[in-house]
Structure 1
C-alpha cells in the first residue's frame, strides 16, 4: 500500500497499547435485553437492563474499556447518545442481530377516510415523516402523476419566476395542489422537494427549500404528499399539522404492523474517541441512523444500517473512522455522508443496496451512496447494487478507491459517474487520489425529467478540475454514455490499464474547456477500449475535445487498444492547431497523424456488422478470490492476443478480459500451427513512404510491424494488420531504419523477422565510445597524457570521430603505449550472434594505423584506410575523410565482449587512433520453403501423381503427416523402383546482391531406413541424407509431431536469381524409400551488390510545373552511377545534392542541366537518399528518391 494511505490496523494496535497502558485491563460489561429490567444493575445477562433510555441514563458512569451489549433477537427503540470515550456497543446471545430502532410500530387505529384511503392520527408524531413500512416492507410515497417507464411520470414546466413560481400550461386543474409538495428535477443530477403554497390555474407558488439558484425551463416535476396523489396500493402521505397518516390500500390495514420513524437519529456519537459499534442492526432514523460528530478513532463494524429516512451514517469533523463489513439497505438519501474536516476514514468490505431510489428524498448532494468530502479516505472492497445516483462521490487528497464493485448505479440521474470525483467538494483538492481495480457495470443513467435532451451516464467521472488523479486497471462495462469522462482536469491525470466496453457514445471522453484546465497533462497508456458498434450509430471510442489545449500538447497516449471488430473504430480529436479543427481516425491513421499517439492497436479480429454480437465478450471477476468463468462454445483470444481460451477462463481478483471468438471448433480440436513469416520485402518507395510486403502466413490472424531509427531504442508499432502489405508512412525523420514484421495466431506470435534489402536490411550497429571508464587497464589511459609518456591519450576533436573524442598513441614522438582493451558488458543477448566492429581514424595525409583483435582471437591485425573491407564513414563534421569501420569478427553465447588494441606498429606509422567499438546482431532471416510438385520438378516426365511404385517414376503423394504442406515426392525403392535423377528449380526468387543458404526438406521415419541423395546444381557429387546424418534438423510437420521431417543445409549460392537442387534415389539396397518435401532458401549475407541504384517516381517539384522540367533519371546498377538528362531545351547551372533520410547532405556538386547525358557517380554507402536539384536562377527545386543497393 502506498505510504500516503494510512493503515487503520496499525493505528488501532498502537491505540490499544495506549489504552491498556492507561487503564490496565479493568473494564465492565453491561447487558441489555428486551426481557430485562431497568432496575437491574446490568452487569450480567441475568440482571440485564431493558432499554436504550437506561443506557443513556448510565452513560456518565461508564469508563473507557466498558462494553454495552444488546441481546440478539431483541428490538430496542430510542436514541442512543454516546458521550463516554473508549466504550464498545455490541451484541451477545444467539439469533438475529439486536435492532436499535428509531421507529414506532402500531397495528390498529385505522379508520376509513374515503374509498380505499384510510387514516390514522398519531399520538407520537414526528414533525416530518420520511418512511412508512407495512409488515417490514417499505411503502411508496404517493405521487401524481404515477410513474411510467416511458417518461418517468413527469410533468413539464414551461417557465419559472426565480424560485417562487413555476408555470405549466398543460397542468390539469382537476385537483388543487396547494399544500402538497412538488419534486422537481432541478439538474440532471439533483432533485429538490418544496411545498406548494398556492395553486392558481397553470401557476404554482412554491415555498422555501431550494438549493439551486434558479429553475430551468422544461424541467420535469411531480406532486407528492397529497390526498389526490393516492391511487395505488400502499401509497401514503403525512399531514404534518394534524399528525395524520393517509394510506391507500384495498384491504383493511388494521391488524398489520405499521412502522414509522419517530426519532431523527438512532445513535449519536458525540465528540468522543475510541468507540466501537459492532454486530447490531440500526433502523428507522428519520434523518440519520448513526450520526458521528468530532469523534476520532471510531470503528463501526458488521452493523446493518437499514430503513433510513435520510443518511445511513453521517460523519463530521472526525479522524480515523472505520466503517467495515456493514450492510446498508433502503437508505433514502446517502448511505455515508462524510464532511467538515473528517480525515483518514476507511470504508471497507461493505454491501450497499437500494440506496437513494426515490426522487422525493432528493436534496443537496443527495441520492448518492457514499458522499465524501475528506482527505485520506480509503474506500475498499465494497459492493454497490441499485443506487439512485453515484455509488462513490468523493473529493479530497490522497484517497484510495480500490476493489469496489458498482452495479446498477445512476438509476435516477445523469451527468454523474458510478465513481465520481470533483476538485471542489468541501473546498478540497483531489491531488494524489488513486482509483484502481474497480469494476463498474450497468450504470445506464436516467434522463427522464431532465431539462437537457441528452443521456450523460458515466462509469468513472473526473469532474471540475479534478487534479493529479490516477485511474488504473479498472473495468467499466455497459454504461449509458461514457466509460470514462475527463472533464476540465488539471495537473497530471494518469489513465493506465483500464478496460471500457459497450458504453453508449464514448468509451473515453476528455473535455478540456477552460483556461484553468488548459495545462493539464494526460498519461493515457495500455487502456483497452471496446465497442460493439456496427455503424448504425456514431460511437467515438475515444474523443478529445478542447478549445484551449491542443491535443498534440495534452500528454502522451501510448500502447492503447481501440477494439471495434464490427465496424472501423473512430477516434476523434478536436483542437488541432486551432479550436475549429477536428479529425476522426482509425488507430493506424491516429498514430500517423498525431505525434503524441503511438503503438495503438485495433481489434485482432474483425467481423461483418451482421455477425453475432456475442463473438465479442467481456468477462470479469468482482471478488477477492480467483474465479473460473464458463465461456460459450468456440475458441477465443483476449484483446491483446496474449492467450487463447476455450471452455473457461480463470481471472484473478477484480480483473477482466475482453474476448474475441476466432473459431467455432470444439476445445478438443487443436489449432493449426502458426507458420513462419516469409517473403518479407520492400515493394515500393514513394516520397517518404515505404511499402512493405510479405507472404500470407498459415493460421495467422493478423500481423504487426515495428520500425525505428537505428540510433534509437524506441520502436514505433503498427499493430493488427489484416493484409499482407502495408505502407509505413513518413520515414523522412529517420536515418537508416530498422523494420520488422511478425505474424500473430491465436494467442501466439512468431519471431520478429527483419526486413531484408536496403535501408533497414540488418539490425542496427550499436556504437560504444571508448573512454576512461571502459578502457583497461585504467592506468594506461588519461586525458592529460603528454604524447611522450607511453600512455594512451583520451582527446577531443572537431572531426574524424562519431562523438567528438577518441583514443590515441602519439608514436611519431616515440610513444610506445601498453596494450589496452575496450570492455563492453551486459549488452548482448547470449542466445544470439553478433558482429563486432572497430572504429578507427586514418587520414589521407598521414600514415595512421592501429592493431586490433577480439579477445577470443590469437593475433592482432593492422588496420588503415587502405586495408581491405574497411568502410569510410561520415564523421562528426559531416565529411567522410578519415573515420573508418572494420569488422573484427563475431561472438555468440555471451553477454559481453572485449576488443584488444595495440600500437606495436612499424616505425613509419605516425599514430594509432581509434574512436570506439560496436556490435550488431547478425540477423536471422526467414527460411522460405518451396514445395516440390508437378510444376517445378525436371524433367516433368519423371514424376506423376499416379505412379504405381514399380514403374520407375517418382510419385507426387499426399500425406497427413511428415510434411510441411500435406504432400511430398517419393521413390518406392523397396519394390525395386529405380527412378531417374530429377531436380527442383526455383526461379526469380533470389537477389543477385545477396548470398543464400539452400536447404532440402526430406523424410526419414525412425521405423524404416529412408534416405535420399541430393546436391546443388553444378556440384560434382551427391551426398546421402538420413535421420542419422550429422547436422540435420528435426522439424514439426503437418500433424504437429516432430518425428520424421528433417531439414539439411546443402550449401550456398550468390550472384544469381535462381537455384536448382538435384535429387537421386541411387542408394544401397537396404534403403527402402527416398522421399522429400521440398527445398528452401534463406539469406545468409546481404551484399553490397556492386553499388547499383534504382530510382523511384518524382516525389516533388517546387517552383515549376512538372511538364516544364522533364528530367530523365537512369540507374546503371553495374557502375555505381546514375545519369541525368533534360530532353527539352534548358541550359542552367544547378546544384545537385544527395540527402540521407536524416536530412544530412552527403554529397554535393555543381552540374550543367542541358540535353546532354550527365553522369553522376555515387560514392556513398547503400541506403535511401533524396536527390535534390536546385536551380537558383529559376527559383526551382526538383526532388527524387534514389536507392543505393
Structure 2
C-alpha cells in the first residue's frame, strides 16, 4: 500500500512540476532585449522575440507557455516560429493590455519623393527590397501596378486580341501602332478563357503584334489582354512602376506625395509556422506581405483565431502543405489580398473554418493568383471531415467558397459579390475531375447574393455566374435551405454530375435560369439520381427560364433521359415556379438547348407540356402572382435575408405577397437565422392560389 501511495505522490509532484513550468513572456515596443520578459514591467522588445522564437536549438518556449504582445503597439518584421505545444497544453501567442490588436507589419513608408513629371514622382527603395512587390498602399488602400489600358477605359481596360494564329504567344491589337510605346519586357495579362487569367512577359514587339513567352492555354481571338509592369502604364492616381535594378519606384498621385502615407511591403511572410504543432495564435493583426500573412506547413493541431490579416500580395492565411490536419481558423478578419483569403487546400482532415470575415479578395487583375484556382474567398481542395460555417465573404474576383472531399459541411455562410474578375464561377463551387471517391457532403442554410458580371475581356456578352455550381464529376451532395438571389447565370448549375439532392431552397433573380442541368461531355457518366424537389424559383424579368432542363452536346444522349423518374431514381417534383411578368399560357417554365451536328436546337415548354411529355414536376405549381410585363420595376420585389445567428424581426411598410400568394404585412414579420424570402408588392399583381401545372 505504501508503495502505491509513494508512486501516486511522485506522479502528482511530477504533474505539478510540469504544469508549473508554464511561463508567460511579454513583448512591448518599449521593451529591451536584455529584459527578463516574464513580467509586464520587464518586457522584451520584438527583436528579442524574433531571435528566440526562431531558434532551432535552445528554444525557450515549452508546452503551456504564453507569448503576449502589447496592444496598441506596432512591430516590424516576420515571425519564424520553431516551437510546439502539446495536447491540452498549446503555446499561446496573443495580446495583453488594452487598445487595438498588436500589429505585426511588413510595410515600410517611402519618403523623399522627387518630381519627375506631371503628377509623377520617384523615391528610392530599401536596400533589402524584395525581387517581387505586388502592391503599394496609399493611406492604407492597396493599389496595383499601372496598367494599359486603365480599367476605367472601354471594355474595362481590355484590348481585344485580333490574332488569328490560335497559338500560345501571339497578341495583336491595332492600338499598338508602330512608333508608339515599345512594350518589350512588360507583363501581359490575358483572359485566355472565361475562367482563366494568366500572365507572361512580352519578349518582342513588331508593330501591332506582341510576342510573349508561351502561355499554358491558347491565346484565342476575341479574348482580352492588357499590359502592366512598364513605366508607360502610369497615367492616373495610384498607378506605379518599380525598377528593380535601380531600386526605385515611380508613382503618380493627384497631390504632393508628402500629403499621403505611401507604403510598400518588404516581407514575404509575416507569420511562418513550419513543422510545429499545438499553437494558438490569437488577437494579433498582420499587415503588408508580398506573399502570405500567415503560413502553415506540416503544422497540425494549430488554431488561428480573432486575428486581422490584410494587404497581402497572395494569401491571407495559407495551410499550404500536406500534414496540416486538425486546423481551426475562427473569427478572423481578412481583407485586401491578391489571391485567396483562406487557403486550406492541403488540409487532409479535421478542418474547421468558422466565423471569419473575408473581403476584397483578388479584385485587381494586375496582381494575385493566375490560372483557374485563384481569387477565391475560401479554398479547401481535398480531405475529409471539414466544416466551413458562419463565414462572411464579400467581393471576390472568382469563387466565394470552393470545396472538395468527403464528410464536408458547408453551412450558414454569407457570400456576396462574387465573380468580379473571372466568369463561369459559383458563389459556392465544387468539382471532381479526378473522379475521387466523394461521400456525405452537405451544403445548407447559406445565403448567396449578387453574382457579378465579368464578361469584359471575353467575346461573350452574357455572364455565367452561378449561385451554387456543382461541376464535372461531383457526386453525393445534399443542398438544402439555401437562399440564392440575383446573378447573371443560374441559381443552381449542375454540370456533368450525379447523385445530387436539392430541396427546400429559394432562388430569385437570375438572368439565365433558376436552375440549369447540363450534360455535355461524353467522358462523364450521364446524370443519374438527381433530386430537385420542394424548391421555390422566382424570376424577376420577362426572359429568364425558370428551369433549363438539359443541355447536351452528345448527340447519342437522349434529352432529359438522365432526369426521368425511372430506374435512375431521379425525382423532380413539388416545386413552386414563379415568373410574375408573363402572359397567360407563355412557355416560360422549362427549356433546353441540344447540339446536334454542330447546330443548337432550342425547345421551350410550359409546365403542363413538359410534365405531359416527361413526367417531371407533376405536383409542382406555378406562381400565383401575375404582374404586367410592360411595367417592370425592381420595386415590385422585396428581397429579405437574415445573416445573423438569431431570428430577426423585419418591419414591412406595406402589404406583400410571396410567390404562392400568401400575404404579409403591413407590420412585423420574423425571419429565421440564415434564411431569406422574396416578396412581391401587393396591389401590383393578381393575388390567388398557386396553380398546379
**SS across alignment from 1:284:** strand
Could you tell me how far apart the structure 1 residues matched to 2:276 and 2:316 are? 20
**SS across alignment from 2:406:** coil
Could you tell me how far apart the structure 2 residues matched to 1:638 and 1:702 are? 11
| 1:165–1:645 Cα change, 3 Å | same
TM-superposed CA distance for 1:374, in Å, is: 2.3
Output the aligned Cα RMSD: 2.7
TM-superposed CA distance for 1:605, in Å, is: 2.1
Q: Which residue of 2 aligns with 1:178?
A: 184
Q: Which residue of 1 aligns with 2:441?
A: 433
CA offset digits 1:124-167 (Å, max 9, x no partner): 31101111112323234211111226410111112257434423
Pick the aligned partner of 1:110 from 87, 110, 113.
Answer: 113
**SS across alignment from 2:612:** helix
| 1:68–1:552 Cα change, 3 Å | same
Could you tell me how far apart the structure 2 residues matched to 1:98 and 1:703 are? 58
1:628 aligns with 2:649: yes
Contact 2:427-2:451 at 8 Å conserved across structures: yes
The number of equivalent residue pairs is 647
| 1:580–1:218 Cα change, 3 Å | closer
Contact 2:166-2:221 at 8 Å conserved across structures: no
Q: Which residue of 2 aligns with 1:356?
A: 362
Q: Which residue of 2 aligns with 1:74?
A: 73
1:651 aligns with 2:658: no
Pick the aligned partner of 2:274 from 270, 273, 278.
Answer: 270
Could you tell me how far apart the structure 2 residues matched to 1:136 and 1:172 are? 38
TM-superposed CA distance for 1:662, in Å, is: 4.0
Q: Which residue of 1 aligns with 2:326?
A: 320
Q: Which residue of 2 aligns with 1:992?
A: none
1:495 aligns with 2:502: yes
| 1:241–1:163 Cα change, 3 Å | farther
Contact 2:541-2:581 at 8 Å conserved across structures: yes
Bigger relative contact order (CA 8 A; separation at least 6): 2
TM-superposed CA distance for 1:326, in Å, is: 0.5
Q: Which residue of 2 aligns with 1:1160?
A: none
Could you tell me how far apart the structure 1 residues matched to 2:593 and 2:210 are? 44
CA offset digits 1:926-963 (Å, max 9, x no partner): xxxxxxxxxxxxxxxxxxxxxxxxxxxxxxxxxxxxxx
**SS across alignment from 2:468:** strand
Deviates more, 1:305-314 or 1:655-664: 655-664
Q: Which residue of 2 aligns with 1:511?
A: 518
TM-superposed CA distance for 1:574, in Å, is: 5.8
Contact 1:178-1:198 at 8 Å conserved across structures: yes
Q: Which residue of 2 aligns with 1:120?
A: 123
**SS across alignment from 1:73:** coil
TM-superposed CA distance for 1:663, in Å, is: 4.2
Q: Which residue of 2 aligns with 1:617?
A: 638
1:446-845 aligned within 5 A: 446-490=454-498, 492-515=499-522, 516-534=524-542, 537=543, 539-546=545-552, 547=554, 548=557, 550-554=559-563, 555-567=570-582, 568=586, 569-573=588-592, 583-611=603-631, 613=633, 614-633=635-654, 635-641=655-661, 644-663=664-683, 701-702=688-689, 718=692
TM-superposed CA distance for 1:623, in Å, is: 1.6
Contact 1:482-1:507 at 8 Å conserved across structures: yes
1:964-975 aligned within 5 A: none
| 1:62–1:521 Cα change, 3 Å | same
**SS across alignment from 2:649:** strand
**SS across alignment from 1:469:** strand
1:30 aligns with 2:38: no
| 1:435–1:52 Cα change, 3 Å | farther
| 1:20–1:118 Cα change, 3 Å | farther
TM-superposed CA distance for 1:430, in Å, is: 4.5
Q: Which residue of 2 aligns with 1:337?
A: 343
Q: Which residue of 1 aligns with 2:36?
A: 41
Q: Which residue of 2 aligns with 1:204?
A: 210
Contact 1:216-1:451 at 8 Å conserved across structures: no
Q: Which residue of 2 aligns with 1:420?
A: 429
| 1:594–1:288 Cα change, 3 Å | same
Contact 2:413-2:446 at 8 Å conserved across structures: yes
| 1:368–1:703 Cα change, 3 Å | closer
CA offset digits 1:714-757 (Å, max 9, x no partner): xxxx36xxxxxxxxxxxxxxxxxxxxxxxxxxxxxxxxxxxxxx
Could you tell me how far apart the structure 1 residues matched to 2:576 and 2:231 are? 57
**SS across alignment from 1:46:** coil
**SS across alignment from 1:57:** helix
CA offset digits 1:794-850 (Å, max 9, x no partner): xxxxxxxxxxxxxxxxxxxxxxxxxxxxxxxxxxxxxxxxxxxxxxxxxxxxxxxxx
Could you tell me how far apart the structure 1 residues matched to 2:687 and 2:49 are? 78
Contact 2:80-2:273 at 8 Å conserved across structures: yes
- Provide TM-score, normalisation by structure 1: 0.52
TM-superposed CA distance for 1:22, in Å, is: 11
Between Structure 1 and Structure 2, whose CA radius of gyration is higher?
1
TM-superposed CA distance for 1:421, in Å, is: 0.7
- Provide TM-score, normalisation by structure 2: 0.88
Q: Which runs of 5+ in 1 are unaligned?
A: 1-18, 666-698, 705-717, 720-1189
Contact 1:188-1:451 at 8 Å conserved across structures: no
| 1:32–1:522 Cα change, 3 Å | same
